[in-house]
Amino acid sequence: MASEKISSNLFWVGSHDPHLRRFDIVMETKYGSTYNSYIFESNGEYALIDGSKLGFEEEWLGNIKEVVAIEKISTMVVQHTEPDHSSAIAELLKINPNIQIYGSPLAMANLREIVNHPFNAHVIKDGEKITIGDDTLEFIVAPNLHWPDTIFTYIEKQKYLFTCDFFGAHICVEPMALSAIAQKKEYAESFKVYFDAIMSPFKPFVRVGLAKIRNLKIDYILNSHGPYLDSPEAIRNAQNLYQKWAEQPVRLRKKVTMVYCSNYGYTKLIAEAMAEAIKEYDVEFKMYDIVESATSDMVADIEDADGILFGSPTIVADVIRPVYDLMNELNPFVMMNKIAGAFGSYGWSGEAVGNLLTRAKQLKMKTIDDGFKVRLNPTADDLVKAKAYAANFVNGLY
């Protein structure tokens, strides 16, 4: 598959991965992906922006060579070092070890650990500019989009904005211009799935990233996965969708979400008693029996909550699996500093409650007590204590 000319001084030289079915191990990529890389030329000078993945270096380097001899490239910008964009750079350096590589401090540190060989590294600062021929490349620090190392690169005179993962989509297409692809429906689906999987844990950073580029004049958004955006409508649409998806809902009341499983109904009795107590407070409250509920609904209400109560009986000395499965859907970046509580009935030794809190701490949540557990069938007195536990939990949110 060949390089593509985007305009008189800009070329797509990335690689196609049509058979990719999982990204980052867990994200389904049913339409494959691309690892986009670009060459910008100005007055005989060449800059390469973004790299490719090891295993795809033959196509990547071959596409570069269609545009310019690799030895003639003076500059490379590494906007983000996740290995899908950086692991093939070592192969490039074998051909052109003199290339000057620019990136954030963390990107340069990461790249050292990926290339495992000396290279000419230049650490950039936010707003720093470098000259390529008659043009200026400006670096915009945009952390956590999708790693802390991420930067954007803007060429004001040409109205080119390079955004790496930001505004990407896992879909393998050819040609690479969004306006030219036939798979518009699949692209729209991929764009949303990609945002949910890659960007949504970093919504505050998405909002900052959008604000940083809001006033830029942009004719092309040159991302690193899927088609690049080449029309004012596509660029406006992408920005509007990201803005909408990254919105922080304004909530005037605290929110508690309870998720639980029950085997013989004992843990459910505790859950219901706690729910009764919580409803006495002026808080928003959502409650789910995990085995009867959609994971996406539960995750949405957990991520939106200030405090989460996890309930599980102890079965064979541990939390029951559906509760762990749900907790494994949660991202520490999103869960950080939310308050966790735990409860459950047990028959033998009652490890589940402690294990729930341990998992919550691994998710970087805060705990305010040791949880609440009852041996087998809760008595009326136990349910009074469950209510007191829940009341204390709600008070702990303030």
Which one of 135, 165, 303, 306 is in contact with ligand FEO (CB under 6 A)?
A: 165
Each as own residue / partner, the long-range contacts of residues 125-130 (CB below 8 Å, 24 or more positions apart, any chain) are: 130/75, 130/102
Residue count of the chain, please give it.
398
Among candidates 147, 142, 149, which has minimal Cα distance to 127? 142
Q: Is 99 exposed, middle or buried (0-12, 13-18, 19+ CB in 10 A)?
A: buried
Which one of 4, 50, 82, 306 is in contact with ligand FEO (CB under 6 A)?
A: 82
- Of residues 239-268, those binding ligand FEO (CB under 6 A): none
Whole-number minimum distance, CB 220 to ligand FEO, in Å?
A: 19
Query: Cα–Cα distances in Å, from 32 out to 196, 251, 341, 376?
Result: 17, 38, 40, 50
Nearer to ligand FEO, 170 or 286 (CB): 170
175: preceding bond cis by omega (within 30 degrees): yes
CB 328 within 8 A of CB 310: no
Site map 126..155 versus ligand FEO, x via CB under 6 A? --------------------xx--------
Residue 343 forms beta bridges with which residues? 311, 372
Whole-number minimum distance, CB 15 to ligand FEO, in Å?
A: 12
Handedness of CA 231, 129, 243, 165 (dihedral sign): positive
Q: Is 170 in the site for ligand FEO (CB under 6 A)?
A: no
Whole-number minimum distance, CB 225 to ligand FEO, in Å?
A: 6
Nearer to ligand FEO, 27 or 388 (CB): 27
SS3 182: coil
| Contact region with ligand FEO (CB under 6 A), list: 81-89, 92-100, 151-159, 264-272 | 81-89
| Residue type at 49 in one-letter notation | I
Which one of 84, 135, 230, 306 is in contact with ligand FEO (CB under 6 A)?
A: 84
Whole-number minimum distance, CB 80 to ligand FEO, in Å?
A: 6
For residue 190, count other CB atoms closer than 10 A to its CB. Answer: 25
Whole-number minimum distance, CB 376 to ligand FEO, in Å?
A: 48
Whole-number minimum distance, CB 56 to ligand FEO, in Å?
A: 13
How many helices (H) and strands (E) in the chain? 13, 24
Nearer to ligand FEO, 165 or 303 (CB): 165
| Contact region with ligand FEO (CB under 6 A), list: 54-62, 82-90, 182-190, 258-266 | 82-90
| CA 84/CA 373 separation, integer angstroms | 46
CB 198 within 8 A of CB 146: yes
Whole-number minimum distance, CB 146 to ligand FEO, in Å?
A: 4
| CA 77/CA 250 separation, integer angstroms | 38
CB 80 within 8 A of CB 223: no
Nearer to ligand FEO, 88 or 261 (CB): 88
Which one of 85, 255, 286, 359 is in contact with ligand FEO (CB under 6 A)?
A: 85
Site map 217..236 versus ligand FEO, x via CB under 6 A? -------xx-----------
Which one of 16, 80, 268, 338 is in contact with ligand FEO (CB under 6 A)?
A: 80
- Kindly list the residues in this chain that would bind ligand FEO in the complex (CB under 6 A): 80, 82, 84-85, 146-147, 165, 224-225
